[in-house]
Structure 1
């Protein structure tokens, strides 16, 4: 992917991930890429939501899901300097917020997310 086209966002705003769209892809390669993206999303929270969406298809990935994973990689290449900036604030206050979405689910699975701050810095 050295000469790939760069992406401005990790996923298109209008993209809807469906269970079986396109052709089946190599499950091992998909799981390897998404696993690495899950690890990376701990220090790059700007990809966390998209990575959580593609990780729902680890057992049965299709070409459309792989295209979204490749788009995440293209986005990461376009934004190498973006990441978490930690600034010392002189206190160790821990704050956490969470939310869940049941309305957008057609398969009885919920989508949830959370944010946690340490010393006023977003860490997860």
Structure 2
């Protein structure tokens, strides 16, 4: 059986289901039915979500499973979150080498460096 697609391959708009049928008894219901928000995700996004659930949200495990870097996975998760209609908190990327350089040169304190590294 083919998988339902949520996005029209011609115009890119959301698709809707107009007929449901029981494969056992043949009962059919016609109308206009909304797909769930997960149906509108791309195949790649659904696979990422599946791995996220499989690894219980452990990004380090996702890194191993997907053979991708932590920042790449974070970016893909942010895109997935946005695709589901949620606002994504965009945190600035912290340059760890720059933080250590500033610490070494006395531009920031140890506490400030720790805070910056925790934010990133």
Does TM-score exceed 0.5, indicating one fold?
no
Q: Higher relative contact order by CA 8 Å / sep ≥ 6: 1 or 2?
A: 1
TM-score (norm 1): 0.24
Structure showing greater Rg: 2
Higher strand share: 1
TM-score (norm 2): 0.25
